[in-house]
Structure formats: structure tokens, C-alpha cells
A and B are shown apart, each in its own frame.
Chain A
Amino acid sequence: MKAFRALIKKELRFYFQSPIAYIILAAFLSVTGYMFYIYAGLLSIPGTPGIISVMRFFFGGTWLFWVLLLMIPPSITMRLFSEEYKTGTIEIIKTSPVKSWHVILSKIAGGYIFFLFLWLPTFSYVLIVALFGKPDMGPVICSYIGTSLAGLMLISIGVFTSSLSKNQLVSYTLAIAVSFIFLTIGVMEDFVSDADWKAVISFLSLPNNFANFPIGIIDLESVVYFISFSWFFTLLTFISYNMKGTNE
């Protein structure tokens, strides 16, 4: 466990010591701040339904949220393995007395902790809403749970694509491509007439699985969806990581 903790600490150290992490943080806060400003502004427009919840809009209410989920996780994960392959430090890691699982899980944990860290400042938006009204906290908490589950899946996708290439740009693009499929596959539902296929597409769609969280429902099926796909991509990373060693 000491080695595992050291590996996670190493990943986190790079996030908080490198300027890229602060650029990601700045970009994230700019976009979420802008989102909050727009949604809060909606309240002052005459004719807006009184029941409108700013935070419900914030989490998955518009495409801005999905763009954020599409772009941010790959930018966090792209360097995790690619950088190690490029600089050759993977040789140090692979010849150390640590299990492959520990290496992979430490990368996912490092990226995921940083992803969660990015969302911390958004609590201030909740605070502002709470100051001027009485928001229903149940849906807000569920939204954060949903976002963290979706984040785990997208981080796992990013770590997997990072394990495929020593080029960070390739890793980033691949992560965007795979995440894009999960985020937009729901659109295909309209083009398919077969009920079974519709069900499959609906099952695979990330926004469909996220939809219940902002209305305050934690759907067990969706939780299983996010955890299963996170596990699936972790498994793919394990295979890719071990294959890379034999054919380098």
C-alpha cells in the first residue's frame, strides 16, 4: 500500500506543480462561471417559470455541460501514460517492485482526484443560490454524485487512450473520439426503428444515464452503468499496459 500511495502522490504532485493543470483549472472555472452567470441571469427574465432551478440547468441542462465533460477529462489524462512512454520513465516504473494494477489504478486515482478538485469551486455557486433562495439540495447533491460517476468513466477512457500512445495529442484525440461516442450515441435513437436497438442505444448513452441525477434520483442502473464502463476501460488499460512491455 505504501508504494500505491507513493504512486498516487507522484501523479498528484505533477498536477499541482505543472502549469498545464492551472491552465485547465482556469479554463474550467471560466466556462462554469460563464454557465452560472447565464443561468442565474435567466431568473431575472420576465416570464421564466418560477420553478426553474439554476443548478438543474447547470448540471446537464444545456450542451455546455457536455462540452465540458467531453473536453476536460482528456486534458487531465492525456499525459498520464503518454509522458512516461515518451520520456522513458515507464522503464523505471515497470522494473520497480509494484503490481501493474497499482500503477494503473494510481493513474486513474490521480486523474480522478484532480477532476474532483476542479469541481470544488463550483460549490460557491450553490452557496450563492442558497443565499438568494431556497434551492432543493437533494437534486444538487445527486447532480454532484452523477457528475463524479460520469467523470470516473471519462477519466478511465482517457487513461486507457493515454496507455496507447507516447504522443499526448494522439491520446487526447482518441479520448475525445471515444467519449464523443458515449455522449452523442443517444442521437441515433431517432434513426433506428427496431425497439431492441433503441434500448441498446439508450443503455449506452451517457446523458441518458445521467438524466435522473439532476432531478434528485439516484438510479442504481445508471450507477452500475458508470462503474461497469469505468471498470471495462481500466481492464483495457491493464491489457494495453502489459502488451506494451512485451513488444516495445
Chain B
Amino acid sequence: MKKYGKQIIGCVAAAAVYAAVMILVNGGFLSRQMMSLIIPVCMNIILAVSLCMVVGFLGELSLGHAAFMSIGAYSGALILKSGLPTVAALPLAVLVGGVCAALLGLLVGIPVLRLRGDYLAITTLGFGEIIKSVFNAATPVTGGAGGLKKIPPVTTYRNFTFVYILMLLVILLVSNLVKSRHGRAICAIRDNYIAAEAIGIKVSFFKTMAFVIAAFMAGMAGVVYAGNIGILKPVNFDYNTSIEILVMVVLGGMGNITGSIIAAFLLTVLPEMLRGLSNYRMLVYAIALIAMMLFNNSPLKRMLVEKHNMRQAGKIE
């Protein structure tokens, strides 16, 4: 019983959140504005948790997460527009979006992840710009700068269940992976790649693996985005979007899945909540970011972490 304690708490929490959202939506307690945020929150959680695996656990800086998201979004949108019934089209679109993003992740990852240092950051930055230009130029398929229009709205809040399950799946897969031999290999590479190699871990292989899995998840999030917003424009997937996701991971405390989820939630909801402040909105937003960063480095947080670690240590004994 004790062994499964954590899983039970997780399941109960997931069910409680689901029930709460359903009651709020169906009971009409939420404003239209708040309802429109439900799916973006889920989407950003998927993006943040997947990027957390690359930046937090693997220790490689990726500045092109929005690019993988856009690949998923466009390829998924084309399937959504193909006229298949939603029941079939949506899962298929999510799958195809993920696979397309993963394939391009592989293409970028194989050469670049053999190198050490900041090369991945530079390459993914360039990759993002290239993808944007390609989508801008490929007008017959993507609609170019005018955008890919009339995507069926299949992932609005009315379809919350599907997106929520997708989000839970991503969280589950990433947190499972971290607690496994593959996850330990990834963390070992982050902490010391020379020692990781010396104990028989294939460094390039595991780096590429983590990167491709993250790209797959970003691609799925892209499909959710496409089905939610209805129109895709290359400018929506620029450098700023990648940085926004990165900010979520950094604020969540690198390598902390729960932190990434909380940060993704706050950073999606906060800008909307602050709309009432009109001109001061970005100012308050920036101050909130700084406050969260300070908390991450505060003695209070360190104390909490230490306490948690001691409890963990006690459990093992």
C-alpha cells in the first residue's frame, strides 16, 4: 500500500483537477476569457514538461522548442482539415504531428548532439528561424504569411477531456522516464559526461533520445494549439515563443517537473489576470518573474528542499 502511495495521490489530484474544471465550465462559473485559457494552460504544461527533460535533466539548452511545436501544428492542421470525422482525425493529427516533429528533431539532434557545449542552443535557434521561413515560403501548403486558415476547432474547452488526458500522459511519461535506467543515464550525462562515458553510457545516443522524445511531445502540443486557435501563422512560432517556454522551465526550477507545471500554469494565466492593470501589466508581470526567481534561490526554498531530501533519505534506510 505504502509503495503505491505517491501514485494514488497523483491519480486523486488528477481526477480532482478534472472534476473541478468540468464543474467550473459546465456550471458557468468561468468568464469566457477564463474558459479560453483552459486549453493553452494544458498545452503550455506539455511544452514546459517536455522542454524540462532537455534543459533540466539532459542539461542541454534548446532554443527551438517553438519550431518543433510549429511542425506538429502545421502537419496536424493539414490532417484536421482533410475532412475526416473528428474522432479519427484528432488522434491521428496528434500522432502525425508528434512523429513529424520527432523526425526533424532526429535530423537536428544526430549531428549536433555529438558535440558538447552550447552548439545545440545555437543550432536550435537557427533551426527555428529556418522553419519559420520555410512555412512562410511554402504558400500553397501552409498559406504563407497569411496563415493556414479554417482549421476545425477540435481542441477547444469543449474537448477538454482529450487534451487533459494528453497532458497527463506527457507528465506521466516524462516523470516515469526520469525514474528509470534511461533517466539516470540522461542525468548522469548532465552531471558529468566524461564519467558517464566511463561507466558505459552511450552519451550521444541518450542525448539524441531525450531530445527526440521532447520534440515529439512539442509536436503534439502544436496540434493542440492548431485545433484551439483555428489559424496558424509562422510569426506565432518565433524566438519569443521558445523563450517563453524556456522561462517556464527555468522558473519551475530546472529539472523539477512539478515546478515546470506550476510555472506553466502561472505564466499562462498571469498575463490574462493582469489585463485589468492595462499599462502596468508587463511591469507587474516582470516583477512577478523576478519574485519567482528570487524565491527559487531563497533560503526558504533551500530549507524546504533539504527537508524533502532528508525525508527521502529516511525512506531509503
Q: Are A and B genuine complex partners? A: no
